[in-house]
């Protein structure tokens, strides 16, 4: 995955620029549930909760290899009893807010900050400004100038 890529010893200007912006890109990329077969419940960023996209609490008995599809019933609805049993109230509420698509839909990586799910420079710029205002860049050791 992109977040695991290496800079290399002699990167091009383009790759260096992408590398420098990788934290910004990763900050807005999350999984969108299609059928849930590709998304790990514990290992992937899949909840529509900006900044972490992760669970707040730790499920009671869900192992790290289980997929989101495990939480979906044969009728392609959230398995309410399982979700309510395994997850804290806030996580369950967030999960139930995710619309489910047909069983033939595929999971996909999306840019959270655009309704279309597609990355745009303007939304990335807005996220970068928000991160700058929150001090996130300085925590990451970044010192970008925005004009």
Please tell me the total count of domains within the chain: 1
* Residues 108-138 pLDDT 10s: 999 999 999 999 989 988 988 888 777 654 4
39 within a domain of the structure (yes/no): yes
88 within a domain of the structure (yes/no): yes
Residue 36 φ then ψ, to 5°: 80, 0
91 within a domain of the structure (yes/no): yes
Q: Which domain holds residue 44?
A: 30-140
* Residues 68-123 pLDDT 10s: 999 999 999 999 999 999 999 999 999 999 999 877 889 999 999 999 999 998 99
The structure's pTM equals 0.74
Structure tokens at 1: 């995955």
Q: Locate tokens 């929150």: which residue?
A: 134
């Amino acid at each position: 995955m992109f977040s695991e890529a290496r800079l290399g010893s002699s990167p091009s200007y383009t790759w260096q620029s992408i590398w420098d912006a990788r934290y910004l890109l990763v900050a807005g990329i999350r999984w969108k549930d299609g059928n849930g077969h590709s998304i790990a419940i514990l290992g992937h960023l899949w909840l529509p909760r900006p900044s972490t996209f992760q669970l707040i609490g730790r499920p009671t008995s869900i192992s790290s290899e289980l997929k989101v599809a495990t939480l979906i019933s044969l009728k392609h609805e959230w398995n309410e009893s399982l979700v309510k049993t395994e997850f804290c109230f806030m996580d369950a509420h967030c999960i139930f807010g995710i619309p489910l698509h047909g069983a033939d839909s595929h999971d996909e990586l999306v840019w959270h900050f655009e309704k279309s799910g597609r990355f745009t420079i303007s939304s990335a710029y807005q996220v970068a400004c928000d991160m700058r205002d929150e001090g996130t860049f300085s925590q990451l050791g970044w010192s970008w100038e925005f004009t």
